Amino acid sequence: ILPMRIAAVEALALADTLVLDKTGTLTHGRPRLGALRMLNGMDEGQARALVASMERHSEHPLAHALREGVVPLEEEIAVRNHPGQGLEAEHGGAIWRLGSPAFAFAEAALGEDDLNWLRSQVDDGGIVVALGRDGAPRALFVLHDAVREGAAEFVREARELGLSRVVILSGDQPGAVGHLARQIGIDDWHGGMRPEDKLAWIRQAQAEGATVLMAGDGINDAPTLAAAQVSVSFGAATTLAQLHSDFVLLGTDLRVLSRAIPLARLTRRNTRQNLGWAAGYNLLAVPFASLGFINPWLAAIGMSLSSLLVVGNALRLRRAGLPAGE
């Protein structure tokens, strides 16, 4: 774990609310395309090429999965990004939308069989990306992202450390978020959230007195990472997310964070002990020295011993530190 802002160690020690993103934080962030369903006579090859073109410049994990192994259209397509919802582009005289089903087209536009199929995929934990043309459904893509190893153990350890509230805030479909939450033992979760929704949730929690620890990895997480009292991202996260993070996890195991929290608390207590000792020593010794009751050579020895005591107290943290390599 790499501290980006050392002052955040105290905030980490005081954190009582843990907020987690889903994709790339609780999952590996490497989704794979599973099922797909063409609608209203859409050709699969055309749909995938168009989607690859729309996602050509995106760094989102879902974009990588959607364009993997697909040759995009030759012409460049101008794309407009709707944060937390999807992409919009004009091609062939039509407006195409790619993103959540609610963004791409009206849910009522789906037939009963297609709607039941979509709901079954979401209930199984799939992330559904929809393609719509002028408000009509054209294709459904289902992606799956594996849960990060140790995620459930990390959630359990966080609760044992006294983080009284553990929450998932995600822009993914509520069904997929709920499926993951049940897997790792989180009851408090929210799906379908836009970046501004996440930010509002965090500010409301802070207004109620919470000290928020936020973990995320995407561009959409940058505002919430900046707003939280202490924030964490992975080394593989987007540059923007890392720039707004107080700590960066260089590995892939979230459980490193649950070992860093006790160390932060010990560091805070150790710092307060050292400040207390230094203040008490000087308040007692300086008046006596100024009145001539302590010889200069004795004062010098006392100051050196005081400094050694502070350093020795700080070195005790090495025995309570993270395991080697962390």
- Whether the model clears a pTM of 0.75, i.e. scores above it, the answer is no
Give the 3-state secondary structure of 259-297.
Answer: HHHHHHHHHHHHHHHHHHHHHHHHHHHHHHHHCCCCCHH
Give mean pLDDT, residues 212-228. Answer: 83
Give mean pLDDT, residues 19-48. Answer: 89
**How many helices (DSSP H) and strands (DSSP E) are in the chain?**
12, 13
Q: Does residue 133 contact residue 92 with C-beta atoms inside 8 Å?
A: no
Active site residue 21: yes
- Candidates 16, 21, 246, 253; catalytic one: 21
Tens of pLDDT, residues 10-23: 888 888 999 999 88
Burial 14-35 (b: 16+ CB within 10 A, else e): ebbbbbbbbbbbbbbbebebee
- Span between the terminal Cα atoms of the chain, in Å: 6
- Please state, in angstroms and rounded to a whole number, the distance separating the CA atoms of residues 56 and 36: 20
Q: Largest alpha-carbon pair distance within the chain? A: 98
Tens of pLDDT, residues 64-93: 888 888 888 888 888 898 877 889 999 888
- Please state, in angstroms and rounded to a whole number, the distance separating the CA atoms of residues 318 and 299: 30
Q: Which of 279, 302, 301, 299 is nearest to 290 (CA)?
A: 299
In the predicted model, is pLDDT for residue 220 greater than 80? no
Angle of helix 174-184 versus helix 151-160 axis, rounded to 10: 70
Reported confidence tier of residue 325, pLDDT bands at 50, 70, 90:
very low
Strands 17-20 and 212-215: parallel
* Of 15-19, 46-50, 222-226, the least confident: 222-226
Reported confidence tier of residue 38, pLDDT bands at 50, 70, 90:
very high
Tens of pLDDT, residues 150-205: 899 999 999 998 898 999 998 888 888 998 999 999 999 998 888 889 999 999 99
Amino acid 298: pLDDT? 74
Give mean pLDDT, residues 230-238. Answer: 76
